[in-house]
Amino acid sequence: MFSKIRELLIGKTLKTEELEGEKLNIFWGLPILSSDAISSVAYAGEEILYVLIGVIGLMAYRYMFYAAVAVILLLILLVLSYRQTIDAYPNGGGSYIVAQDNLGIKPGLIAGASLTVDYILTVAVSICAGTAAITSAVPSLLNHKVAIALVMLIILTIGNLRGTKESSKIFGVPTYLFIVSCIVLIITGVIRHYVFGYLPAQMYSIPKQIGDITLFLFLRAFASGCTALSGVEAVSNGIPNFKEPSQKNAKAVLVLLACLVLFIFGGLSFLATIYHPVPSANVTVFAQIAQQVFGKGIMFYIIQVTTAFVLVMAANTAYAGLPLLLSLMAQDGYVPRQFSQRGKRLSFSNGIIVLAVAAGILIIVFKGDTHLLLPLYAVGVFLSFTLSQVGMFLKWTRSKEEGWKHKAVINGLGAIVTFITVILIGITKFVHGAWLVFIIIPVLVYSMGKIKNHYNKVVKQIKLSNDERPNIGIKTNNDQHVIILLGTLNKTFLKSLNCARCLSNNVVAFHVSTDPAATEKLKVKWKEYNPGIPLIIEHSAYRDIIEPLMNFIESEDRASKHGETVTVVISQFVITKWWHNLLHNQTGYFVKSMLYKNRNVAVLTVPYIIKE
């Protein structure tokens, strides 16, 4: 039943060989990997304005535009830097790889942990912002925003479990629609104002100026705007998702992305200086601009719908990025190995599910509020940018390959600027929530170290040298100790007995008495049936089966006499309907898990099928 539902939702299992067909060309790669950066125009401008307007009032629009320009300059620098990274790391040049490669394991783990945190936040923030776009258009939905966000999350998760390529086709179109609507919005907004002199009344009144612009205030505004830049990492981390030539395609997508953000983010910030939107809890700044430019007509609703879609697609960027990152880290043994396995549809399904659950928790805890989530955002991504850039800088200075000086200058400059930015973000947003990230990242790095440690320990302990030879084989008298755990005398016992006697001549039945009446009945029946093996009965005052059994194994010194493994036989009902399992004691299951903790006890499970 479960497998049928799964097949309906995520499609038929794919062969490993079908992997190549799931990759992206430039046309589909752009929407799926750049929607994060492009869509952030829907909230990044609002965040800048939110910081400024409460203090400097009307002046906020001018400084908002300056901050946006600063963010765009930073983006251009990042694109230049990352083009070099893509060249140098054809298998995916995520910060994790670059930092580990050039700076060592610890910096690599810090980059990996930072990115993990940021991918999860990308999903939570983008979905919440998408929900805000919907509730801006339909205010009556304001009370259901958490539910709307969770539904979006579930749809996205299912789409991604179906596999990368299909999700890009489903999800690529809205990104293009959003780009086109934004361009139309900007052009219309500029023409209506400058050509036709159109200027509608403001929707909300601008707060009074209560202070002057300070450097700290401007830097806070700039730091808030930096949330727009996490998408860059996604492209360079996602090279293996591209069709061949994957590096060239990735670089092309990166440049296209930069051009689009330049035009749209710049254009919208400019429109803000004309139309004066004011951050409000009910209608987003972006929606206010659209409403001012178009009026509350069809174009307004198109803008809101495409915004919602593209923000959900931005979350999709993280669905492409995080599972891939986790699979790389899993191969290195820093996160559970299961992250490196492809699911039924060849996507890294474990990573997708973990991402969905973590983002879902964030949405619920932060009540679907973008404002509360954003201060946590961007610390991680700029930390990883910095590590990556420093790594690239060192790479060039070490390799001294052709043209290294030029490349080192670009990455060095990138390193300095992103480092300054991470400090800025950390300081200006610390009390607003960024402190949480400064706790989570070290905890993740520590856990990754512990995990690697465990895997190392296991590998060391189970490593087999050629000198350790197997035993010669079966002994002539075949007296391997076999104990049948006996509840009541029935056919399951008979089957267990037959199994055991095929394997050994030294079989005993062991019964733990928790109910004297039942034990008496067993004794009578045993005498009657007389199976020809000894029956040992132990009383248990605490209704516990494990302890008497373990005592029996140890007291007889069965385990150690020959240094052999004692085998305990447990019969298990096999039932066709899953709910029938609720009707039977899972004693066998508990006994087994306890016995496994004893090195010298092997458990032979003999299934007995109950027919319907």
Contact pick of 197, 403, 470, 534 for a copy of itself (by CB under 8 A): 470
Looking at the Cβ atoms of 215 and 472, the one nearer to a copy of itself is 472
Q: Pick the closer one to a copy of itself by CB: 4 or 611.
A: 611
The amino acid occupying position 526 is W
The nearer residue to a copy of itself, 293 or 566, going by C-beta atoms, is 566
Whose Cβ is closer to a copy of itself: residue 19's or residue 191's? 19
Residues of this chain, 291-320, that bind a copy of itself according to CB under 8 A: none
The DSSP secondary structure of 209-258, one letter per residue, reads: P-S---HHHHHHHHHHHGGGGTHHHHHHHTGGGBPSSHHHHHHHHHHHHH
User: Looking at beta carbons only, is 150 or 310 nearer to a copy of itself?
Assistant: 150
Min dist. Cβ of residue 590 to a copy of itself (A): 12
483-502: contacts with a copy of itself (CB under 8 A) = 489-495, 497-499, 501-502
Is 349 a residue that touches a copy of itself (CB under 8 A)? no
Residue 605 binds a copy of itself (CB under 8 A): yes
Encoding tokens for residue 611? 């027919």
Window 534 to 573, contacts with a copy of itself (CB under 8 A): 541-544, 564-565, 567, 572-573
- Comparing CB distances to a copy of itself, the nearer of 438 and 596 is 596
Near a copy of itself by CB under 8 A: residue from 5, 298, 462, 517:
462
Interstrand relation of 601-610 and 566-575 (parallel, antiparallel or unpaired): parallel
Check binding of 526 to a copy of itself (CB under 8 A).
no
Q: What are phi and psi of 603, to 5 degrees?
A: -120, 125
Our CB check for a copy of itself shows the closer of 370 and 492 to be 492
Nearer to a copy of itself, 81 or 349 (CB): 349
Q: Which is nearer to a copy of itself, 258 or 486 (CB)?
A: 486
For the bound state, the minimum distance from the C-beta of residue 249 to a copy of itself, rounded and expressed in Å, comes to: 27
Least distance in Å: CB of 509 to a copy of itself?
Answer: 11
Comparing CB distances to a copy of itself, the nearer of 397 and 565 is 565
Phi, psi of 481 (to 5 degrees): -70, 125
338 binds a copy of itself (CB under 8 A): yes
Long-range pairs, 467-472, Cβ under 8 A, ≥24: none
Residue 4, interface with a copy of itself (CB under 8 A)? no
Please provide residue 238's backbone torsions phi and psi, each rounded to the nearest 5 degrees. Answer: -100, 20
The least CB distance from residue 250 to a copy of itself, in Å, is 26
CB of 373 to a copy of itself, least distance (A): 25
Q: What are 369-374's contacts with CB under 8 Å, separation 24+?
A: 369/128, 370/43, 370/125, 370/128, 370/129, 370/132, 371/47, 371/50, 372/433, 373/121, 373/124, 373/125, 373/128, 373/433, 374/43, 374/47, 374/125, 374/224, 374/227
Binding residues for a copy of itself, how many (CB under 8 A)?
Answer: 83
3-state SS class at 566 = strand
Using CA atoms in the order 474, 475, 481, 485, what is the torsion angle rounded to 10 degrees? 40
Residues 6+ apart with CB under 8 A from 592: 570, 603, 605
On the CB side of 319, how many CA atoms lie within 13 Å of its CA?
A: 35
Of 30-38, 105-113, 138-146, 459-467, which part binds a copy of itself (CB under 8 A)? Answer: 459-467
Q: Under the criterion CB under 8 A, does residue 337 sit at the interface with a copy of itself?
A: yes
State how far the Cα of 61 lies from the Cα of 239, in Å rounded to an integer.
38
Instruction: Establish if 456 lies at the interface with a copy of itself (CB under 8 A).
Output: no
CB of 182 vs a copy of itself, minimal distance in Å: 42
Which parts of 573-592 interact with a copy of itself (CB under 8 A)?
A: 573-574, 580, 582-585, 592
Pick the piece of the chain touching a copy of itself (CB under 8 A) from 56-64, 71-79, 126-134, 330-338: 330-338
Judged by CB under 8 A, does residue 468 bind a copy of itself? yes
Residue type, 361: I
Q: At what angle do helices 215-225 and 404-429 cross, to 10 degrees?
A: 110
Determine the Cα–Cα distance for residues 292 and 272; give it in Å rounded to an integer. Answer: 10
What does the block give as tokens for 409? Answer: 């200058």
Nearer to a copy of itself, 6 or 62 (CB): 6
Q: What is the Cα–Cα distance from 290 to 511, expressed in whole angstroms?
A: 78
Tell me which amino acid residue 372 is: L
Query: From the list 209, 280, 397, 514, which residue makes contact with a copy of itself (rule: CB under 8 A)?
Result: 514
Give the residue with the Cβ less far from a copy of itself, 54 or 336: 336
Where in 2-57 does DSSP place strands (E)? Answer: none
Shortest reach from residue 484's CB to a copy of itself, in Å: 11
Indicate left, alpha or beta for 166 from its phi (over 0: left) and psi (-120 to 50: alpha).
Answer: alpha
Q: Which of 406, 457, 521, 561 binds a copy of itself (CB under 8 A)?
A: 457
Residues of this chain, 63-122, that bind a copy of itself according to CB under 8 A: none
Q: Look up residue 396 and give its amino acid.
A: W
CB of 597 to a copy of itself, least distance (A): 6
Q: Would you count residue 527 as binding a copy of itself (CB under 8 A)? A: no
Q: Give me the torsion for CA of 360, 366, 368, 373, rounded to 10°.
A: -100
